[in-house]
Amino acid sequence: MMAFLLALGGLILFHEWGHYGVARLLGVKVLRFSVGFGRPLWKRRWGKDGTEWVIGMLPLGGFVRMLDEREGPVPAAELSRAFNRQSLWRRSAIVAAGPLANFMLAWILFSLLYMVGVPGLRPCLDEPAAGSLAAQAGLHAGQCVEQVAGRPIHSWQEFQTRWVDIQLKHLPFTILTRDQTQHTENHVIQISAMNAAALGDEALERMGLVPWNPPLPPIIGRVVPKSVAARAGFLQGDHILTLGGQSVSNWMQVVQLIENHPQSVLAVQVLRDGQVKEFTVIPQSVALPTGRSVGRIGVSPDFPADLRAKLWVTEQYSASQALWRGGEKTLMLTQMTFRTFWNMLSGQASWDNLGGPVRIASIAGESARLGLIPYLQFIALISLSLGVLNLLPIPLLDGGHLLYHALEWIRGKPLSPGFVNSAQQVGFVMLVILMGFSFYNDLQHFINH
């Protein structure tokens, strides 16, 4: 929960600071800067304008209240500093600054991560199942993915993201591969027979696209702190002998047994310091994008140094290259998020994809336990989502206010207060419905998993 509150509080602060900073830059007086809604838990006044800084009880958003004649009388000496007296472009700039701050934060975080180095699995293929779409396209073990639909691929995780992207854009699934002899080859996977809504790892697996997975001994290389495995008693270096009553001889057997038994009690035997230890573990149930639930416990295998170099790649750049790469990733993920929202609204994607604060809090905790890099990646993604959400043309959101400004520009005069009030009420109902869907999905996820 602490990881969630820190992430959400920071993102709200950054969003509202965008509004505040541009308002001050353009000479508009700010009366209150609030992170959170409801009864103030903390408040102070400072600055030459006496701005009130507040932390509210409900950390589900924030607001910047500016001087405005529509909300009360304004002294004649300060009329030029009232928000409603500003030109259309100035008001639009202040409104748009919040979402733009979220996009800027995502860009900064992605760029910093690329400077430090982002580890990932090499995008190399294992042998596809006979008769699979990948096999029909001529793909085979030993090939590494260089490009998908013309865009370079650096890791398996990026390959997965690019697959979702081309589905949203309805692009052909073309793959450029390079083998160990440096021979390159183009492949086209015919996905017309696939369920286009089945995005994520499972869809790739059903096509026969799985990462190269050399046989590894069932020895634990890392236990995620505070994970299911840590609570059960697993330690780094444990050699797993049996799991769920079945003998295991390689790591893939361990993965399959855990994935196939979510929320089931599995008896474990491990060899530790020459002695056999016995205990039980209950794999946590995790829902894949397709809705299928699999077990996870929070362990990874022990990789010999030579094999680690073949399996893993670190994507790291100079400062200028990292800024470019971070901007490229921010733009692609922003476009994907907008398309996902549009597909949900148009019925092309399921509303089950919409997660609420409960699921986001769960993901925040998991990413924080995995380490700083996954946690910062999570914050960058949520920042992007907040930016996109706030730009949706729904009254009460920033996008709704920008829609008002567009209508004002078309009409050549401000909208009537009655119209704006009615639109705000409609927007409130829309947001309640949106939040209702997200909470319902969280509840269903909690009940099912």
| Active centre residues (catalytic) | 16
- Tokens 């701005």 belong to 51
Residue 202 CB contacts under 8 Å (≥ 6 apart), including other chains: 288, 289, 290, 292
Token couple for 66 = 């500016």
How far apart are the C-alpha atoms of 68 and 299, rounded to whole Å? 56
Q: How far is CA 383 from CA 2, 7, 158, 227, 334, in A?
A: 17, 9, 19, 26, 10
Q: How many CB atoms lie within 10 A of CB 168?
A: 20
CB of 117 within 8 A of CB of 50? Answer: no
Helix intervals (H) in 170-317: 201-206, 228-232, 251-259, 305-311
Identify the bridge partners of residue 148 per DSSP, sorted by sequence position: 151, 175
Residues in the chain: 449
Which of 207, 200, 199 lies closest to 175, judged by CA?
207
3-state SS, residue 449? coil
